[in-house]
Structure 1
Amino acid sequence: MTVSQLSLLALLCAVLAVAAVALVVREVRGRVPDPAKPPSRIATRVQRAKAELPEAWQRRWRHLLITAGAVTLVVWAYTGWPVHGLLAGGAVIGLPYLLHPGSAAQARIERLEAVASWLNHLAGVHTAGISLTQTIRASAKAAPAPIAPNVRALAERLRAGMDPSAAFAQFADELADGVVDHVVLLFQSHAVYKGPGLADALEALAVTIHQQAADARDVEADRSKVRKSSRMVSTVVFVVVIGCMLNKAWSAWYYTPLGQVVLAVLGAAFCWTLIWLRRIARTAPDPRLLDPLPTSVPATAGGPR
């Protein structure tokens, strides 16, 4: 490498190091989101990607990001080439998704079952004669784990005086599932018309959602064998690539500027293939019935499509 290339590489490493340190400090300190403010599009995508992992990995999300950043810097510094470091960091982040290809579908099933259980709880509390907003606020502490953060955020919005229809619409946006939209439409309708029979409607909707979750479990049982084969193939390819990169006799050409470009293209193509396989094997949520809320303005009630 020439002196100018080394200087540029050193500058890029310094920028990446500063960004990594800032990310580490931000993640370690943590953030307290404003429940009345809709999350940004990037934050929403990050939360959905995080939700596709098993609960144990979700608790280690910050450690995973910190480890990926550290691995990126170490490999970059060791090899002297940026693409090697970026691919190593990406491999650290992608490893949990590779090991748990069906976690997204399992998480959705558990979320549906949690929604159904929550509706049953709401129906039982609402028969005591309190309002829907009071019922939701009272249920926040006992909400099932898969939807507990969303229910608590909804309760905080209602407690802060936010318009109920807007708060319900934001709750639907967070879960982004047509099944939840049915629940939100029921909430919004009752908030406007205050009609009787809400407890019966909640119980009937809970039975329907429980049945949808049971059907989804049957489908996922058939898909598990295919996912297991896909995971084994991906793991073998991953190990072979690592072995080739560690053997400089095979990978010496990639330690050149042109080789870095080719390696970046091959790495991006491999990542895209894994993402594509994961998407086609994913059980898609039911189509949305409510228009997504804009992310740049305060939440307003979403209308039906």
Structure 2
Amino acid sequence: MDLRIFIEPQQGASYDDQLRVAQAAERLGFDAFFRSDHFVAMGGDGLPGPTDSWVTLGGIARETSTIRLGTLVTSATFRHPGVLAIQVAQVDAMSGGRVELGLGAGWFEREHAAYGIPFPPRRFGLLTEQLEVITGLWSTPDGETFSYDGEHYTLVDSPALPKPVQAPLPVVIGGNGPSRTPALAARFGAEYNTSFPEIADIPTRFATVRDACDAAGRDPESLTYSAALVLAVGADETELARRAAAIGREPAELREHGIAGTVPEALDRLGQLREWGTDRVYLQMLDLADLDHLELVAAELLPHVR
């Protein structure tokens, strides 16, 4: 099982804050560093303000060497797919082929209003066309052009450049929808991610995606299955309580919904997830100043899940 570090910088983080976490995660042996793609804090003032995910990842790509990088997830409403395809391909080149694109339909209407970004009421058609355009641009052979005539996007004789280093570049389809998201994961995804579900719902979500793969004629085992869950682990109850208080949560609630508790409890939860077919867990780290948290997880959890 892979363990990946996932942060929410819209809650308040500079580029330097994010770089410190990414470099620590790389040094400690975590598989990847991912970040959310939001422009407004969900509670609190969000100071010093939002950072653009792909600008940030481009910088981090040049200041790391082995850790994989990506978004969980970029909203299809934020960028034209032609521009996003260029941005992601460029960051992949800047990283030497370590990037993954997480893409979803988007949901946070307030951040769209705050920055003048259109928020259409129906977004799955938009997401589907984005996936068709992005993967179409990347898979077009060199020297050929790509055209597309959809309801939302039209591209005419695009040179379909630049190409990512990776072929194909992994696409992570995120969401908890019961039918359309699994179908998109089966069609386009290298990975399906369920973010912050009720723990007991995870096997059902994975089973729905496996069914969608069967329906699409795809081997369900060709897809990676992952979950994103909040992280709060302590060497003892006192340390756990301190970490819970630092992020404004209660230990009991964290134990119910995340990778949380003492080290043995966290290992039990990870073991349960592995039994359910979870290949990868994104550990949502909310206190970016607490690098000792990463040290503990790397020393006490990481060796037991690999």
Fold match by TM threshold 0.5: no
Q: Taking CA–CA contacts closer than 8 Å with sequence separation of 6 or more, which of the two structures ends up with the larger relative contact order?
A: 1
Larger radius of gyration: 1
TM-score normalised according to structure 2 size = 0.25
The normalised TM-score by structure 1 is 0.25
Between structures 1 and 2, the one with greater helix share: 1
